[in-house]
Amino acid sequence: MLQVSAFIDANPRGLGLLPRDRTCADYEDLVNHYERRPSLWVEAIGDWGKGMVQLVEIPTKSEDNDNIVAFWRPNQPIPAQAEYRFTYRLYWCWTPPTVPSGATTAATRVGAGPDKDTRRFVIDFVGGRVAELKEDADVTPVLVTSAGTVKDLMVQPNPTTGGWRVSFVLAPGNAALCDLRCTLKRGDELISEVWSYRWTL
């Protein structure tokens, strides 16, 4: 189904669509080769004011249709025939010119949960300083959901990736949609980006 997400911000420094799956095995597509497609990063120059990054996910019956877009939308509606000026620089790249200082999400896996109508989530974070942390480090996952409940939340080092893994079970209850967000903290220090996921029936 058509889904629209809004990420509120003021004077953004940049936005873009950044695929992280970069091997042929991620897609197994010998025609379109999605693993070779560049990222597009928009560097905002100057102050853009208050608004939101809108992410639009469009249903499609063909893998040939590019069906996900992101764009900046100012808070105030733009009247017909009005003029607005935004200055920006485009980077067609493999990785964006600026990267988060903390760990980033390397993989998200979702499957059947242990009980009826539950889903198990497994998230791998890599990069930043997490590779330096020892097994007994004080790493805490901070997880919130807009609906339903979360149980069996745990975090552990992942020696295969050199990062840390978070796992949990979502029980959506009667909700048809749950917006989930997760970060890693060490004490009061934020050590990862925000993982954001929309679960739907």
Q: What is the pLDDT along the chain (201 residues), one digit of tens a residue?
A: 899 999 999 999 999 998 888 899 999 999 989 999 999 999 999 999 999 999 999 999 888 888 999 999 999 988 999 988 999 999 999 988 888 789 999 999 999 999 999 999 999 999 988 888 888 788 999 999 999 999 999 999 999 999 999 999 999 999 999 999 999 999 899 999 999 999 998
Residues 67 and 141 in one domain: no
Which among 181, 147, 185, 154 is positioned nearest to 169, based on CA atoms?
A: 154
Count Cβ neighbours within 10 Å for each residue of 167-190 and write b for 16 or more, e otherwise: bbbbbbeebeebebebbbeeeeee
Domain boundary among the residues 73, 93, 113 is at 93
Residue 98: C-alpha distances to residues 116, 130, 132 (Å): 43, 19, 22
Confirm whether 98 is domain-assigned: no
Q: What is the pLDDT of residue 64?
A: 81
Question: CA–CA separation, 93 vs 110, rounded Å?
Answer: 29
Among candidate residues 58, 93, 128, the one where a domain is terminated: 93
Same domain (yes/no): 118, 193: yes
pLDDT confidence of residue 101? 84
> What is the pTM for the complete model shown?
0.86
Number of domains forming the structure of the chain: 2
Domain containing 123 equals 104-200
Q: Are residues 85 and 120 in the same domain?
A: no
pLDDT of residue 62: 86
Strand extents, DSSP E, 61-186: 68-74, 87-93, 104-112, 119-126, 139-145, 149-158, 163-171, 177-186
Instruction: Enter the tokens of residue 78.
Output: 């733009």
pLDDT, residue 99, reads: 81
Neighbours of 107 (CB within 10 A): 15
Angstrom distance (rounded) from CA 70 to CA 5: 9
Q: Residue 137 contacts by C-beta under 8 Å, 6 or more apart in sequence?
A: 186
Same domain? For 89 and 108 the reply is no
Strand-by-strand arrangement of the 68-74 sheet: 3-10, 50-57, 68-74
Q: Is there a contact between 143 and 181 (Cβ–Cβ < 8 Å)?
A: yes
Terminal CA-CA length for the chain: 10
CA distance 125 to 165: 6
Looking at residue 186, which CATH number applies to its domain? 2.60.40.10
Would you state the structure tokens that stand for residue 138, as one six-digit string?
A: 């004080």
133 and 172 share one domain: yes
pLDDT for the residue 96: 87
The type of residue at 70 is A
Q: Are residues 75 and 117 in the same domain?
A: no
Grouping H, G, I as helix, E, B as strand and the rest as coil, residue 58 is: coil
